[in-house]
Structure 1
Amino acid sequence: MSATLAYLPSPSQDFVPDGKSDRWAVWRSPAGQPRWARPALLGIAFVAAVLYAWNLPLVDYAPLYSEAVKSMSGSWKGFLFGAIDAEATYTLDKLAGSFVPQVVSAKIFGYHAWSLALPQVIEGVISVLVLYRVVRRWAGVAPGLLAAGIFALTPVAASMFGHSMHDGFLTMCLVLAVDAYQRAVLEARPRSLVLAGVWVGIGFQAKMVQAWMILPALLVGYLLSAPVETRRRMKHLGIAGVVTLAVSLSWIALYTFTPAADRPYVDGSTNNSAAAMVFGYNGLGRVGITIPGAREVTDGDVPIVVPDAPPPPMVDIMPTIRGNPWEDPTKATSRESPQGWGKLFDGHLPVAVGWLYPLTVLALVCGLWWGRRAERTDPVRGGVVMWGVWLLTFGLIFSVGTVPHTAYVASLAPPVAALSALGIVIFWRAYRGGGKQAWLLPIAVAAELAWGAWLWSHYPNFLPWAKWGTLALGAVAVVALVLVRALKTASTTVVTAALALGVAAMLAAPAVYAISVLDPDYAGASYDANAGPESGKIPGGPQSGEMPDRPEPGGMPGGPGGIPGDGGMPGGIPGDGGGG
C-alpha cells in the first residue's frame, strides 16, 4: 500500500482474477477472500431481492410505457421502433431499447403488471452484486460489502427496482460499465474498455443522453490511472469512444434511414426526427436549450399540436396509483420541493438518495488529500477520482436541468454507496490509529446526525418512533466515540462497540426509508420511484399531505385527460411527461 495513503486500503490483497474459483460453489468465497465474504454478499443480495420483489403482486402498470410494451410484444415493427399503438403509428419520447427487458419478460410470462416489473428486480440484484465486485477490487472486501448493502438500502433503489421503470436498466448498465472499465484500468486491457463503452451504449438505449453523463468519469479515470503511456491511453479511449457512439446511435440510425412512411411518428419532436427527440427534447431541452425539431420542455400539460402529423392513437389508460397522497393525508406532511440548484439538497430528492451526503463528501475529500502524493497509477486514488467525477457530473447536471421523476437520481446511488463505504472503512481505521485523524469518524457521525434530522424534518409524521430512535442512536454514538477517544483507556471491545454504534447510526435513517417499501402504501408507483412518505407522488401532482381527487377514467390528476407532464404527443394527446 502506498505510504501516502495511510488509511486507504489496498485492492491487491483482495483482487483475484475472476474464473479461478469453483464457479458452481457460489456460496464459497474465492481464494484470497475471507470465508465469510461470499455468504455475506449472498445475504445482502437476498435482502435486496426480497425488498425489490415484495410488492410484485400489487405493482401497477406504468402509464403509456406499458402500452408501448404491449405494442412491441405484438409485432416486429412495433418492437423495432418502440411504437405505442398496435398499428405502430406513434412512439413515445423514448428509444425502443427502454422497454426491451419488459418485452422479453412479457413474452415469457405473459403480459401482466408483475411481469413488466420483474426485469427491474433482476437488474437491481445484478447491480448489487456487480457493485460489490467493483468496490472489492478497488478497496477490499469490507468496503465492497458495505457498498453493496448501502446501495441495496438506498430508498430510491428500493422503490425503483420494484416497478417497471427503465431507470433501473440504466443504473445496471452504468454499474456494469464501471466494472468493465475497472478491469481496463487495473490490467491495461483495451477490450475491457471497449466493453465499458458497449454497456454505456446499451444504457443510452434505456435513458439516452443520461447514460453519457458517466463518460467524463471513465475518461478522467483512465487517463489518470491506466498503467500505459499517454499515447496508448489516448488510442484506447478513441477506440472505446467509437464503439460507444456506434452502439448508442444504432436505434437513431435505424429510425433516420427508414422512410417516414414506413415507420411510426416520433413523439418529443415537431418534425418526426429521432435525433431531435433524443438530443433536443430529452437532451439539451432538459437544461433549457431548444434545438430545431425538438419539442419544447414545459412545466404544464398543454398538448402541442403538429399540423402535419396524423391523428394520434387514443390509448385507454387507467393506472392504479398506490401511495401516501391517495391513502391518508395525516401520515406525512411535506414542504414544497425546491427547484434549481437546491433540488438535490432539499425536498424529496435528497430523501431518495442523499442521506449519506456528508459521509460521501468527507470520504471524497480525505481520499483525494491522503492520496495526493501517490503514484499516477495508484488504483485507490484513481478510484476515488473516478467516483468523485461521476458524483459531481451527475450532481451538477441534475442541479442545472429538470428532474421530472425521482428515479433520475438513482444514477447517484452507486458513487454515493462506494464513497460512503470507503469513508466508513478509512475513518474506522483512522479512529483506531489515534491522532488527529481519529476525530474524523465522530465528526462524520455528527454531520450525518444533523443532516438526517434536517431531511426527516420534511416529514415529521412519518414513522416518528423511527425518527426519534435513529436520532437517539446517533447522539449516543457521537458521545460514545468522543468519550472512548478522549479517555484513551477503553478496551478493544469497547472501541469496537463504539465504532459499530457509529456506523449503525449513519446507516439507520436510509435503511428505515428503504425498508418502508414493504408497506405498499410507501413503496412508490410505476410512474415515480419514491420510498416513504413521498410514495406515489408524481410530477404535476399534489404534494404529500394534500388529499387530491382520485384519478378518473382516461386521466390522472394534473392534466386534461392525460398524464401530468411537460407536453403532449403530436395531435393533442398529452404525453407521458417523463422525458429522458
Structure 2
Amino acid sequence: MWLNGSMSRLRTSAPILGILLVAALARTWHLSQNDYGRQYYAAAVRSMMESWHAFLFNSFDAAGFVTIDKPPVAIWLQALSAKLLGFSGHSILMAQVVAGLLAVLLTYLMVQRTFGPRAAAWSALFLALTPVSIAVDRSNNTESSLIVVLLLAAWLAMRAAETGRLALLCGAMGILGIGFNIKMGAALVLAPVIALTFSLAWRDRPILWHLTRQAVAGIVLIAVALSWVSYFDLVSPSQRPYAGSTKHNSMLELALIHNGAARFLKPKAEPPDATTPAAASTPASVIPEPDTVAPPLPALYDDSPTGFLRLLRPRAATQMAWMLPLALVGVALVWLTPIAAAATSPRFVGAGIWTGWLVSYWIVLSFAGGPVHTYYVAILGPPLAVFSGIAIAGLYERWKSGLLPRWGLPLLAVLMAAWQSYLFFGQEGVTDVTWLRWIWLTSIGIVLACSLLLVARPNLARLAAASGAAALLVLPGLTAASVVIVRPNVAVPVANMASLANPPDARQEAIRRLRQNAARQKLVRFLTDNRQGETFLVAVPNANVAAPLIIETGLPVMAMGGYLGDDPILTPQALERLVADGRIRYVMLGGFTLAPESTALDAIGQWVRANGRRVDQRQWSLYRRKRDAPYHIRRGNRWIAVPPPELFDMRPDGQTVRIGAKGN
C-alpha cells in the first residue's frame, strides 16, 4: 500500500518536476555569458556586502553617497545570495533564477487547485518557456522577484475571496506592499483587482462590511509599502545616501515621480534609444576604439505608439504572446462556461484574479507614455500562460466528451499559424535568414497538415493534436533559446530570434574584453597604489562609469551625478570640502554618459579643472589620445562624440606612485 501511494504521488508530481527541470536548464545553461548582468545593480550588491549601512539604505556605493534608482528588496535578495555563495556574477543571477523557478511552481499549484492538473501542467510549461521570462530570470533586473511576489499575493487573495477572511485579504495586500519595495508602483496595479474580486465574491454582504475590510486591508498595504520609504526620508540627509534619480533627495519623490508619473507621461526629450552592453557597463577609460564597438542591439526603450495595439506589435508580442489566440480561447472558456452557482467558488475567484491581472497590466503597459523597457511585458507572462493552459485542458475535455465542434481545433490551429507567422515576419532581421525561414515553413506546415488531419481523419485526432501542439512550440522555443545561446543586452534582457543568425564575433568579443580588462586593471592599480586613506577611490561622473570599478575592488567610488549623471547631488563647494577633509583625491571627468549634454556636473567640472592637476594619461590609461580629441561610441544606430576621460589629482602635493616605477 505504501509503495502504491508513493508511485501515485510520483506520477502526480512527474509533470511539474519535468517542467521545473526544463525551466532550470533554460535559466542556467550558459548563464556565465551574462557576467554580472546589469553592472549598476551588481555594484550595489558588492557595496552592500561591504557595509550594513549601505545594505540598509540601498546604497550604490559602500560609503553611502547615493542610492540606486529602485527600492531595496530585490537587491537585498541578490546581496544575500552573494553573501551565501560568494560574490560573483553567478551568485547574483541565481537569485533571479530561483525566483523564476518559484514562479513556475506557484503557477502550477495555483492553477491545479482551481482548474485541475492538466491545465496546471500546461500553464507551468508555457510560463517556463516564455521568452521574456527566461530573459529576465537570467538577468539581475527586478522583474523576477516582483512576479513571485504578485503570484503570492494573488494566491492569498484567492483564498481571501473564497473564505471572506480579513486576515488573508490583509496578507495579500501586505505582500503587495513588499512588492512596492521591489518595484514601487508596478506592484500596486494588482491591488484594485484583488479588492474588486473580494467584493464581487461577497457582494451580498452589507456595504459597511465591505468598507471596513477594504479600509483595514488598504491601511496594511500603505503601511507595508511606505515602511522603508518613510524610514529613509525621516533619517537626516546627512546620515544617509542621497536618493538617486530624484531632484529633491526624497525616496517618496522617487516612487511618485521617477518610478511613478514619469512612466506614464511622455518626456519632453526622447530618452536615449539604445546602448551597447560594452558601453553601458564599462568605465570611460575602458571603452574601446570606435571600430571595435559591438553593433547596436535592440532598442533600450520601447518607443512604439501607445494604445491597445502596442503589445500586439511584434517587438512586444514576440516576448510573451506567441500563444495569444490560445490564451483568448482560455479566457472565453472561463467566462462563457457556467463556473459555479456560488461567487466564492475557487474557479470564479481564480478567473477574476487572472483576468484582472491580464487586463490591468495590459492597459498600463499599453498606455504608459514614459520610458518603457520591452522586458516589462514579463509581468504578463503568468496570466497569459494560465489562460493558454486552461484552453488546452478545456478543449481536451470538450473533445473527449464530444462537445467540441469538428471544425473547432482545426480553426484554432489555423489562427495560431497565422498569428505566429505575423510575429515571425514582423521581426527585424529574421526573414532574411534562409534557415530561419525553413524552420518557420516546416513548423507552420506541420500545424496546417495536422489541422487537415483533424478534419479528414478523426481516428488520428489525438496524434494530430499532439503533433500540432508541438509544432506551435517551435518558434517561441527558438525565440527563448536566443537568450540562452547568445548573450543578450544585459541591461535590457529581451529575446531576439535574429541574434541566432547573427551572433557576435567570438574572437572580436574576446579581444574587446581583454582590452577592457587590461585597461580597467591599469586604472584600478594606479588608484589603489595612490590611495592614502581617502574614503573614495575616485569620483566619476555617473554610476555607469563607477560600477565596474566597484565590482573590481569593492571600494567606494563616488558617482557624482548618480545613475545617469544628472542628479543634483554635489556642488563645487561640497566637493571642495570633501577634498579638504581628505575624503577624495582623484576625480574623473568626461567619458561615457546617458545624461543630456548640460548637466548638474558642469560647474563641478569647471572647478575640478581650475583646482586640480591633470594626471598624465600614460599613468592610468592604455589609450593615447590628444587632450581635447573626443572619442565616439555607438548609441542605437548613430555614433556620438563623447568628451575623452580625464583624471585629475585634487591634492597634487600628495605623493604619487607611478605605475611601472621601481618597486611597483
1:503 and 2:469 matched: yes
Match of 2:154 among 140, 153, 178: 178
Q: CA shift at 1:363, angstroms?
A: 1.9
On the 8 A contact 2:143/2:378 being kept in 1, the answer is: yes
Structure 2 match to 1:378: 345
Encode CA deviations 1:426-475: one digit per residue, 9 max, x unaligned.
Answer: 12223344456554433322211111001111222373343222211221
Q: CA shift at 1:137, angstroms?
A: 0.9
Structure 1 match to 2:610: none
CA distance in 1, matches of 2:243, 2:298: 40
Structure 1 match to 2:478: 512
1:481 and 2:447 matched: no
1:454 and 2:431 matched: no
Q: CA shift at 1:211, angstroms?
A: 0.6
CA distance in 1, matches of 2:15, 2:261: 43
Structure 2 match to 1:288: 265
Structure 2 match to 1:73: 49
Q: In the superposition, relative to structure 1, how do residues 264 and 28 fare at CA in structure 2: closer, same or farther (>3 Å)?
A: farther
Structure 1 match to 2:239: 262
On the 8 A contact 2:339/2:347 being kept in 1, the answer is: no
Q: CA shift at 1:194, angstroms?
A: 2.4
TM value normalised by structure 2: 0.68
Q: CA shift at 1:158, angstroms?
A: 1.2
CA root-mean-square deviation: 3.8
Q: With a CA cutoff of 8 Å and minimum separation of 6, indicate the structure with the bigger relative contact order.
A: 1
1:215 and 2:191 matched: yes
| Amino acid of the structure 2 residue aligned with 1:533 | M
Structure 1 match to 2:96: 120
Encode CA deviations 1:168-196: one digit per residue, 9 max, x unaligned.
Answer: 11111111111222222333333332222
CA distance in 1, matches of 2:398, 2:74: 45
Q: CA shift at 1:569, angstroms?
A: 3.9
Match of 2:123 among 143, 147, 152: 147
Q: In the superposition, relative to structure 1, how do residues 228 and 414 fare at CA in structure 2: closer, same or farther (>3 Å)?
A: farther
CA distance in 2, matches of 1:298, 1:86: 33
Structure 1 match to 2:16: 41
Structure 2 match to 1:442: 410
1:354 and 2:317 matched: no
Matches within 5 A, 1:426-441: 426-434=394-402, 437-441=405-409
Q: CA shift at 1:345, angstroms?
A: 1.1
Structure 2 match to 1:101: 77
CA distance in 2, matches of 1:499, 1:122: 33
1:466 and 2:432 matched: no
Q: CA shift at 1:28, angstroms?
A: 6.4
Encode CA deviations 1:82-106: one digit per residue, 9 max, x unaligned.
Answer: 1112221111221122301111011
Match of 2:270 among 299, 306, 315: 299
Q: In the superposition, relative to structure 1, how do residues 317 and 150 fare at CA in structure 2: closer, same or farther (>3 Å)?
A: farther
Q: In the superposition, relative to structure 1, how do residues 121 and 436 fare at CA in structure 2: closer, same or farther (>3 Å)?
A: closer
Q: In the superposition, relative to structure 1, how do residues 568 and 301 fare at CA in structure 2: closer, same or farther (>3 Å)?
A: farther
The percent of aligned pairs where both chains have the same amino acid is 26
On the 8 A contact 1:72/1:83 being kept in 2, the answer is: yes
Structure 2 match to 1:527: 491
Q: CA shift at 1:482, angstroms?
A: 2.9
Encode CA deviations 1:280-319: one digit per residue, 9 max, x unaligned.
Answer: 1111111107xxxxxx6853359xxxxxxxxxxx994799
CA distance in 1, matches of 2:563, 2:372: 9
Encode CA deviations 1:25-63: one digit per residue, 9 max, x unaligned.
Answer: 998665xxxx52201111111111111011232222213
On the 8 A contact 2:74/2:182 being kept in 1, the answer is: yes
CA distance in 2, matches of 1:576, 1:189: 50
Matches within 5 A, 1:323-402: 338-341=304-307, 342-371=309-338, 374-401=341-368, 402=370
Q: In the superposition, relative to structure 1, how do residues 29 and 337 fare at CA in structure 2: closer, same or farther (>3 Å)?
A: farther
| Amino acid of the structure 1 residue aligned with 2:415 | A
Structure 1: runs of 5 or more not aligned: 1-21, 290-295, 303-313, 485-489, 537-546
Structure 1 match to 2:25: 50
- Indicate the larger mover: 130-139 or 35-44: 35-44
| Amino acid of the structure 2 residue aligned with 1:399 | S
On the 8 A contact 2:304/2:310 being kept in 1, the answer is: yes
Encode CA deviations 1:105-126: one digit per residue, 9 max, x unaligned.
Answer: 1112222111110101111111
Aligned residues: 504
Q: CA shift at 1:421, angstroms?
A: 0.6
| Amino acid of the structure 2 residue aligned with 1:286 | R
Encode CA deviations 1:118-158: one digit per residue, 9 max, x unaligned.
Answer: 10111111111111000001100000011110000000011
Matches within 5 A, 1:312-323: 316=283
Structure 2: runs of 5 or more not aligned: 274-280, 501-508, 521-540, 546-561, 570-591, 597-664
Q: CA shift at 1:320, angstroms?
A: 11
1:406 and 2:380 matched: no
1:205 and 2:181 matched: yes
Structure 1 match to 2:613: none
Q: CA shift at 1:205, angstroms?
A: 1.3
CA distance in 2, matches of 1:576, 1:248: 30
CA distance in 2, matches of 1:533, 1:128: 23
CA distance in 2, matches of 1:319, 1:223: 58
Q: CA shift at 1:524, angstroms?
A: 2.5
1:239 and 2:205 matched: no
1:163 and 2:150 matched: no
Encode CA deviations 1:369-409: one digit per residue, 9 max, x unaligned.
Answer: 22388542333233222211111110111011145323211
Encode CA deviations 1:480-508: one digit per residue, 9 max, x unaligned.
Answer: 22334xxxxx33xx222233234324433
